[in-house]
Structure 1
């Protein structure tokens, strides 16, 4: 653990030298010219490993991945609302009416491209090494996993991820930036194609699972199952989710509350997450998740009849509501305002499997069994319905109860289910237009591209 923190945070300084931000914002807000000679940056596998640590460090450098993305998507959904310090910028997400000049957009957008650019540096330079070291392919695979995850996050926030025929994908980056020329968006289908190619490579070449802080072939398989669900390739989603579950490399925590008390202390069901500690990473997530981003009234009401209530929600002595999932974390017994971000945990994989089996094969029994595995762990009554529509809605609702306030998954489910005709999203969040199913691109990105990058419709 100590070695991990040391490596990640020392290398952040190196990555800052490699890809320093510009004053003028292009599509990635990353300086197009490296500040050191490229041919001297990665000349052996050990150097490649060092720079890879820096790519992981991009996940925990700042609040973008850890706080902003999970918070704003949860506000767009139904589980969070602006906190007592929240203002107009936060309310815009809660009201599903975000303007292109909202500063959260630029923070998230540029950070994801910053990580992608660093990953591309690792991928291209490591691939060029003349080395038989087996670690070479693993390093490339881990970097490609991180690139796939960021491209996927960009697509579902800023692209029409639900329409395979849409021209409104995102800008794909597969090489380190070498000039300041704007690059046009690619289609949704092309974005998914690269994401799947990267994940397939990671499944084939990434290390076996050994640590929640690093990419593994198991994490890649779990993420691919999620991507397949979004692509409506339900058969593939079900197959991959089942393989992850049956691998027995991860298992559900004994109780729901254990997920949020163990955190980084030997968690059983987490597939990929960010580290944090008292020395290196005081990311203030717990503070931000009460001051700027609070629990929605709807989520609190939903959880009142759920056995997970006390593990998910708590109150101060003065009666103020707290998000108990990210409240009072400790490191070596020291209370922290910092906390982790679970990018994937096994419970979500069970629910992906449940939905995918139902949609792909109309397999009521398999879907219900997977769903009830999660409900049994949380000490809730089991679902007994054999009605397709009721079961599908039960799976969607279960994801809110299980994953609510963690990563905004319920928002993306609302969009997906709405597009499929399973629900009317306006019954849950009143949208002024269908264009509000996705966010606008940051205004700087569009304006500085001089017409090369098209803004999303309706913005």
Structure 2
């Protein structure tokens, strides 16, 4: 087992104040929410349609606390210092989110539904326009495709946070919105199955209609992102064979635009040019640029937002090892260490930390390494065995990270003799280390693995995070203001009533 030098840990994933006010580009700085405008006058041609799409992206950019809450729930983040004064964050850290305080939860909940509403207005109104009103006759359909993929992704984010995403038989899905809101009327929550059905329909439409890759930039929705997200959702649904098939197709057809980056560290650099937004590894991410009000500057708050001590769970994963028939294989080589600035504190270099020179930022939402790991888990679960395809997919990510194939101890590829249980553990921890500080996926993996084994038996979330014992609180409460405003139409999540 590797030993990391003990250091204070300073961490905040998103620059809070800047992120709430930022926009994607200067041409939408004055953009008003579509739900506040007359739909028939808001979108009248190509320019207003593009602005409306940018507005939906801008709203999505404001969902800052979803990543923070997931990190605190899983134990991959710690809270302290300035943010220790907020009971909501302290509750996430204790796996006991408060239901009567929703300052940050409400921000994400509102921003996501606002983004969805922008998409709904756009889809409704652009459908009425003739294709001849667009300079590129295909652009009309591409805009609809981008909007549907963004809507699908945002509904999925809502389900992850506020619905029992792991249980296809649960009634606790989310309020799926497919039409623009013209009033404050509340609607009942859909079941989890109904929610996934709506998301998949949008994904299928988006995969058909969205651009292959707009301008070579990964800051816009594209067909390949749609395929990657579809594979992920099918994995969540337990449709393992189909998830493996979709992931395999993306890996085989992605070409040079969508492929594993040569190095893990290189995905996150350079931070001073548009090249950051064009890495083949990335399927989709939120961009921050030097233009006024459009920068994320996530890393600038890392040294001054969350102050605590080293996050035990991620350090344990990064320094841990597994015994495979006498061969001691390390979970990580240098990925964790290489992406932290040498300092007396852990300052993650996945995000910008220098305002003067690091003026480009990308908050990655999905990348090819995760697609490989989706394939690994899905194919193994579909066949109830460690298949060659599953093993190769996992080892491809490790080889890119510097793993060797000598058959000795250390940071090695996994051998064919690995058991199924060991393999699934290895996949989960690989994702935790590989995707650290990106979308908080390790929390959802913990919950899914626990549910698949049967809550209370087999693997349990509490094996990793001791305070995570109440399965009802594996998801967040619906913001109390939303529940109260619905007049009883919106049902609160269990244990939060």
Shift, 1:90, TM fit: 2.0
Once residues 173 and 315 of structure 1 are traced to their aligned partners in structure 2, the CA distance between those partners, rounded to angstroms, is 46
Structure-2 separation of matches of 1:46 and 1:373: 43
C-alpha root-mean-square deviation of aligned residues, in Å?
2.1
| Counterpart pick for 1:167 among 171, 176, 201 | 171
* Deviation >6 Å, runs of 4+: none
Do the aligned partners of 1:354 and 1:368 also contact (CA within 8 Å) in 2? Answer: yes
- 1:166, distance to aligned residue in structure 2 (A): 1.0
- In structure 2, the partner of 1:176 is 180
* CA distance in 2: counterparts of 1:284 and 1:58, whole angstroms: 17
- Pair 6,78 (structure 1): closer, same or farther in 2 beyond 3 Å: closer
Q: Distance in 2 between matches of 1:219 and 1:15?
A: 28
- Paired with 2:218 and 2:390, the residues of 1 have a C-alpha distance of 27
What SS class does the counterpart of residue 85 from structure 1 fall into? helix
Q: Which runs of 5+ in 1 are unaligned?
A: 20-33
* Paired residues of 1:256 and 1:378 also in contact (CA < 8 A): yes
Shift in CA distance, 12/423, structure 1 to aligned 2, threshold 3 Å? farther
Query: 2: distance between equivalents of 1:192 and 1:435?
Result: 20
TM-score (norm 1): 0.89
Q: What pairs with 1:74-89 in structure 2 (closer than 5 Å)?
A: 74-87=71-84, 88-89=87-88
Q: Deviations over 1:49-86 (max 9, x none)?
A: 222122222233x4x2xx42212211111321114322
Alpha-carbon distance in structure 2 between the residues aligned to 1:187 and 1:454 = 12
* C-alpha distance in 2 between matches for 1:97 and 1:290: 26
Q: Does 1:307 align with 2:330?
A: no
C-alpha distance in 2, partners of 1:301/1:226?
Answer: 26
Question: Is 1:371 the counterpart of 2:394 in the alignment?
Answer: yes
Q: Match for residue 224 of structure 2?
A: 218
For this pair of structures, how many residues does the alignment match? 430
Distance, in Å, in 2 between the alignment partners of 1:293 and 1:176 is: 37
Q: What is the alpha-carbon distance in structure 2 between the residues aligned to residue 298 and residue 194 of structure 1? A: 35
**TM-score for the superposition, normalised by structure 2:** 0.82
Deviation larger for 264-273 or 288-297: 288-297
> 1:188 is matched with which residue?
192
Question: Any residues of structure 2 matched to 1:190-339 within 5 Å, and which?
Answer: 190-209=194-213, 210-247=216-253, 248=255, 249-262=257-270, 265=275, 266-280=278-292, 281-293=294-306, 296-304=311-319, 306-316=333-343, 319-328=344-353, 334-336=357-359, 339=361
Which of 69, 74, 97 in structure 2 is aligned with 1:72? 69
Identify unmatched segments of 5+ residues in structure 2: 1-21, 320-331, 404-411
Distance 2:312 2:469 in 1: 22
Task: Tell me which residue corresponds to 1:437.
Answer: 474
Deviations 1:283-313 (A, max 9, x none): 3411333433465133134324632132233
1:145 alignment partner in structure 2: 149
Report how far residue 328 of structure 1 moved: 2.8
Deviation at 1:261, TM superposition (A): 2.0
